[in-house]
Amino acid sequence: MNVVIAIDGPAGAGKSTVAKRIADALSYFYIDSGSLFRAITFKVIQSGLDMNDINGIIKLAENSTIDFSNNKVFLDSIDVNSKIRSAIVNSNVSHIAKISEVRDIIADIQRNIALKKNVVVEGRDIGTTIFPNAAFKFFLVASVEERARRRLLELNSSGSNYSLEEVMEQISKRDIIDSNRAVSPLRKAEDAIIIDTDGKCIDDVVNEILFNIKSFN
Ligand code: DC
């Protein structure tokens, strides 16, 4: 049985950087589940489909291949890693993530990888729905302001020019949609360990998680 380490939490809590570092430290495969939702969202936008055309979106998702290679996402064999982080994808991805059929397709992709490899998986529903029997579960949290500050750096370094207030508003809206959707809402698994990342550097968070993992072995 392969080992699964689940890292959940809201947008901007630091999951990606931390999950990648944990995967590197343990030589596990890193799965960024958000990038799977982003890749489908990107394809929907590219195809010109209406965001309300649920059947069309499901068909499009069924006819897509999404893979990871060198921590990058490939959609239908094309590297879309930077394209899926755009503001337009940011503002539409929560709508795609509400569609249960799309979630099922994305769940299968993740479970198939974990059949072959030890994995660190980051997302919103990893410890609750995708891998409820994961060996280790962590739930990262941070204040909206701290998360917005981190997202702002990421967005503005790729050429955008947002204010902190705008990003705080986007993050709060996404939190509400992600936490209140009917299928697999953002929720801490009962057996997940909460890691508050406010005011902590990446190294501290990574070490806290590795310490927890090692103390269970
Ligand atoms: O982690 P992220 O910001 O890249 O995620 C993008 C969106 O995908 C996020 O708004 C919610 C959704 N998502 C989800 O519903 N379930 C996951 N396991 C991961 C992401």
Strand pairing class (72-75; 78-79): antiparallel
66-93 per-position pLDDT tens digit: 999 988 999 999 999 999 988 899 889 9
Identify the H or E element spanning 207: helix 202-216
CA of 212 to the centre of ligand 1 (A): 25
CA distances from 48 to 42, 51, 52, 153 (A): 10, 9, 12, 30
Of all protein residues, whose CA lies closest to atom 11 belonging to ligand 1? 94
Of all protein residues, whose CA lies closest to atom 8 belonging to ligand 1? 34
CA of 125 to the centre of ligand 1 (A): 9
Given a contact cutoff of 8 angstroms between Cβ atoms, the answer to whether 142 and 195 are in contact is no
**Does ligand 1 have an atom closer than 6 angstroms to the CB of 103?**
no
Is the pTM higher than 0.75? The answer reads yes
CA distances from 66 to 1, 9, 107, 120 (A): 24, 23, 12, 18
**Does ligand 1 have an atom closer than 6 angstroms to the CB of 66?**
no
What residues form DSSP beta bridges with 45?
A: none
160-188 per-position pLDDT tens digit: 788 999 999 989 988 888 888 888 888 99
